[in-house]
Structures are given as structure tokens and as C-alpha cells.
């Protein structure tokens, strides 16, 4: 695949643009992590090869359940929330554990945004009394990245449909142009027209839920290229012909199928979806070989413009309003998620005998669970449960070793939100009521 895209702009000479945030979402197994890995290493290579070298992408891992992340991330939810302990403490299954971990992480969204803005937006030059030294080669570590990349949990609905997902996306998109990369497993999705349509309907629901520009990324083109899928999208007659062919195949094979109802529905939907497809960019990539990554980055630039034109207007005015919404309405909803979790204690599918005393002492709350995390994490952590992976962040944390139970959690929430009262109190009050 040609890599003929223009070299990245030199941030030292070009008017600085904020980086674009790429949020990778997709069904479990579609290849999000492999794609993120490929994208990150591609951008690292591109930044190193530029003259002068530019800043590499800023990377966030938002999947609390992933065992190992193949790429280097600057911010990792796992440093802040211990997924296994969350499952244990709230008696949750895997999906509830991911949801609750994301909820806990989302209470720290303002800190995350603070770090992102500090690291990724051009900062006003520091006042200096000494004469500027002549530095012909800008230091890439002092430059801002062109891309922020986020990998999300495999359980797509947990991220896209949860309050915490909305909080994170709305916070991100108020500060940075934000684009969704909807990763699709091409061979699996084009197995038949019904699977294809299901995936497209999922994409449409995310598009309308988030209202962010979206790129459909047909992944795994090394196994099957995107031609058929794109054909089905661009020309509904091609799609309808495929539906007919499948129906005939089923009739000949004696398979009942949807008895005509299914075919009719698929045909109607293909007509309706024409309008939706028009709003999307489509690229074929292979995360395994790297094919199509440059085309994807070109599509991202197109979507950045769309974001600036259609999404950005009014955003600056709405920033304060959105922040308030985040703290009030969504946190209320988010605590509702925790409430569901707390009710599961002792009654639900994942209920269990009361934990023996020594286990309780081991970690009674999420905050204590965090305290018990490995020494490596604790060293980086400076008191508020939040950590940026590559550097120490000067946060005025307190030693909360003595804080146990609900008070400890309350302090966590208060700290997480950088103040006392408001949403923090609301969160802890909710927990007090539901857990007490």
C-alpha cells in the first residue's frame, strides 16, 4: 500500500492544530487492540522519521480487563482501577466489573482531561529571564502530538452505552476534535447479509448516540478485502442481489431462514441506510500487515475537518455547561450503575458467601484495593489514585491509609473530582445509602 501521504507538519513552524482524538470501538474480537497497536507504532515511526522529529501519539488504554497491552500507553485505566478487585468487592461478573471500573475511572475525568490538555495542547511559553539559546532542532518531547489514541473495552456496549462512556467522550470532544474508528471484522461481517446489516445497525446506533464523526474501518483485509462490504454499502441493488442469492441458496438447501420476512427487512433497511452511509468514511485496513493505515489517517484528517465544521461550533460556549452536566446528571446515572452492582451483593448470579475476615481486611473498598496494588504502581501514584504512566504528576494527594470503608471511598471521590461537595458527595451519599 502506498505510503505517499504528506509528511507530518512541523509543529515548530506550522500553525499549531490541536491533536485529533481517535477512539477505537468495535465488537469483541474485531481487532481494536491489534489496530491500536499498529496505529501507534506507525505514528511512532512517522514521528521519528520526520525532519526534525515530531512528537509521538499520546495513547490511553481504557480497557480495565485486558491482561497485557501490546503498545506503550501514556495513561492506563489499570493503573487507576483494579478490575479484579472491583469484581470481588462488588460481587460482579466480568461485564459489571468493566462497567464499574469505567465508572470509577470516569469520576477522575477532570484530572484525565487536565493531563491531556497539559500534554497535548500547545502551552504558552514559559517566561524566562535568560536569552533564548539557539536550538535548531526542536525537542520532540516538548512538542504536542498530532494524535491521541484510545483503545476501549471489548464489550462495546459497556463503553458506548454507559454513563461513564458518555462522560469520557463528551469531555474529550469538548477539548479535542474527536473521531470514532468503528473497527469491523471484515471476514466475519461479510459472511452473510444479515450479519453485515447487524453490524451496520450497531454502527448507526453508536453514531447517533455519540454524535461524533465516524470512520468504518474494515479490518483483517489480509484475510478478506473490503470490496464486497463497500459494494453492499454503496449500491443497495448489489446488497439486495446478495440477499436474493442467499435466500435461493437457503431454499435449495432446505433451510427455512426468515421465510421471506428477513429478506424483505434487509432490503428495506438497505434503502434506509443509504443516508447513513453517506455520513461515513470507509477504509479497509489490515492491522496485521499495516496495509491501509495511511489511508485511515487521511480519513481521520477529513473527519477532523468535519468535526471542526459541524461539531465544534458552539462547543466552547457549552464547555462549562457540559462540565456541570457531567458532574450532576451523568454521575447520578453512573452511581445508579453502582447501585445495581451493590444490589447484586449476596443475591445475584455472582453472589458468594461473606468474605472471610482476612479477605475483607485485605481490601474493603476500591480505594483500599488500589492501595494494595503493586509497589510499582504505588510509586507512580501520588496519592489520589490517578497516575500518568510516563511521568509523575504533581497532584496534591493525601495519605489515606487510615481511611477505610465509605469515608475512604468518599475521600477518593472528593479527591478524584478535585473538590469536596457536589458530585463527589452525591456519589458517596449514594454508596452510603445503597451499601450501608
Binding site residues, ligand GTP, CB under 6 A: 26, 28-34, 154, 219-220, 222-223, 286-288
Minimal distance in Å, beta carbon 83 to ligand GTP? 13
> Smallest distance, Å, CB 28 to ligand GTP?
4
- Closer Cβ to ligand GTP, 250 or 291, answer by number: 291
Closer to ligand GTP by CB, 116 or 158: give it: 158
- Give yes or no for a contact between 219 and 25, defined as CB atoms under 8 angstroms apart: no
Rank residues 123 and 205 by Cβ distance to ligand GTP and give the closer one: 205
Residues 6+ apart with CB under 8 A from 260: 247
Helix (H) or strand (E) holding 100: helix 94-106
Give min distance, CB of 46 to ligand GTP, in A: 19
Least separation in angstroms between CB 289 and ligand GTP:
7
Residue (34 or 192) nearer to ligand GTP, CB: 34
Q: How far apart are alpha carbons 79 and 376 in whole angstroms? A: 10
What is residue 380's three-state secondary structure? helix
CA distance 407 to 428: 8
Nearest distance, CB of residue 156 and ligand GTP, angstroms = 8
Which DSSP state fits 7?
Answer: P
Contacts of 221 (CB under 8 A, 6+ apart): 186, 284, 285, 286, 291, 292
To ligand GTP, the closest distance from the beta carbon of 347 in angstroms equals 29
- Check: CB of residue 39 under 8 Å from CB of residue 20: no
Question: Which CB atom, from 287 or from 395, has the smaller least distance to ligand GTP?
Answer: 287
DSSP state of 390: S
- Report the residue number, 280 or 287, with the smaller CB distance to ligand GTP: 287
Q: Which residues contact 19 (CB under 8 A, 6 or more apart)?
A: 57, 58, 120, 144, 145, 146, 147, 148, 176
Least Å distance between CB 158 and ligand GTP?
11
If one counts every other C-beta atom within 10 angstroms of the C-beta of residue 148, the result is: 26
For ligand GTP, the closer of residues 287 and 338 by Cβ is 287
User: Least separation, in Å, of the C-beta of 217 and ligand GTP?
Assistant: 10
Q: Which is nearer to ligand GTP, 182 or 386 (CB)?
A: 182
The closest alpha carbon to 155, from 337, 29, 34, belongs to 29
Distance CA 26, CA 278 (A): 20
Place of cell 444479515: 194
Amino acid at each position: 500500500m502506498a505510503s505517499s501521504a504528506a509528511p507530518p507538519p512541523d509543529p515548530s513552524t506550522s500553525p499549531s492544530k490541536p491533536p485529533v482524538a481517535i477512539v477505537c470501538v468495535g465488537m469483541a474480537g474485531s481487532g481494536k487492540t491489534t489496530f491500536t497497536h499498529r496505529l501507534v507504532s506507525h505514528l511512532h515511526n512517522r514521528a521519528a522519521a520526520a525532519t526534525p522529529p515530531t512528537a509521538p501519539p499520546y495513547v490511553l488504554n481504557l480497557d480495565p480487563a485486558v491482561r497485557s497491552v501490546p503498545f506503550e500507553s501514556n495513561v492506563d485505566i489499570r493503573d487507576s482501577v483494579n478490575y479484579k478487585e472491583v469484581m470481588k468487592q462488588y460481587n460482579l461478573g466480568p461485564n459489571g466489573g468493566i462497567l464499574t471500573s469505567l465508572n470509577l475511572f470516569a469520576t477522575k475525568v477532570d484530572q484525565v482531561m487536565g493531563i491531556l490538555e497539559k500534554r497535548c495542547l500547545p502551552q504558552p511559553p514559559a517566561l524566562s529571564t535568560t536569552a533564548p539559546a539557539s536550538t535548531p532542532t526542536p525537542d520532540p518531547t516538548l512538542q504536542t502530538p498530532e494524535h491521541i489514541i484510545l483503545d476501549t473495552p471489548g464489550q462495546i456496549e459497556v463503553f458506548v452505552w454507559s454513563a461513564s462512556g458518555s462522560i469520557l467522550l463528551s469531555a474529550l470532544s469538548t477539548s479535542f476534535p474527536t473521531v470514532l474508528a468503528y473497527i469491523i471484522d471484515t471476514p466475519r461481517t461479510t459472511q452473510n447479509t444479515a450479519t453485515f446489516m447487524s453490524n451496520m445497525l450497531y454502527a448507526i446506533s453508536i453514531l447517533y448516540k455519540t454524535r461524533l464523526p465516524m470512520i468504518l474501518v474494515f479490518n483483517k483485509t489480509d484475510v478478506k478485502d473490503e470490496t464486497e462490504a463497500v459494494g453492499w454499502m454503496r449500491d443497495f441493488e448489489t446488497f439486495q442481489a446478495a440477499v436474493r442469492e442467499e435466500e435461493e441458496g437457503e431454499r435449495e438447501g432446505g433451510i427455512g431462514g426468515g421465510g421471506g420476512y428477513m429478506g424483505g427487512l434487509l432490503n428495506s433497511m438497505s434503502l434506509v441506510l443509504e443516508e447513513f452511509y453517506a455520513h461515513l468514511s470507509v477504509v479497509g485496513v489490515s492491522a496485521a500487515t499495516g496495509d491501509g493505515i495511511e489511508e485511515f489517517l487521511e480519513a481521520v484528517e477529513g473527519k477532523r475537518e468535519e468535526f471542526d465544521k459541524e461539531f465544534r461550533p458552539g462547543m466552547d460556549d457549552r464547555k462549562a455547561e457540559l462540565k456541570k452536566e457531567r458532574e450532576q446528571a451523568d454521575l447520578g446515572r453512573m452511581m445508579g450503575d453502582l447501585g445495581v452492582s451493590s444490589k447484586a451483593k449476596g443475591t445475584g448470579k455472582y453472589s458468594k458467601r461473606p468474605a472471610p475476615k482476612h479477605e475483607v481486611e485485605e481490601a474493603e473498598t476500591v480505594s483500599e484495593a488500589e492501595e494494595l496494588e503493586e509497589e510499582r504502581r504505588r510509586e507512580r501514584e501520588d496519592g489520589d489514585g490517578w497516575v500518568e504512566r510516563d511521568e509523575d504528576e504533581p497532584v496534591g494527594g493525601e495519605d489515606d491509609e487510615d481511611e477505610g470503608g465509605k469515608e475512604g471511598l468518599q475521600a477518593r471521590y472528593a479527591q478524584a473530582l478535585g473538590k469536596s461537595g457536589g458530585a463527589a458527595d452525591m456519589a458517596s451519599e449514594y454508596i452510603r445509602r445503597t451499601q450501608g
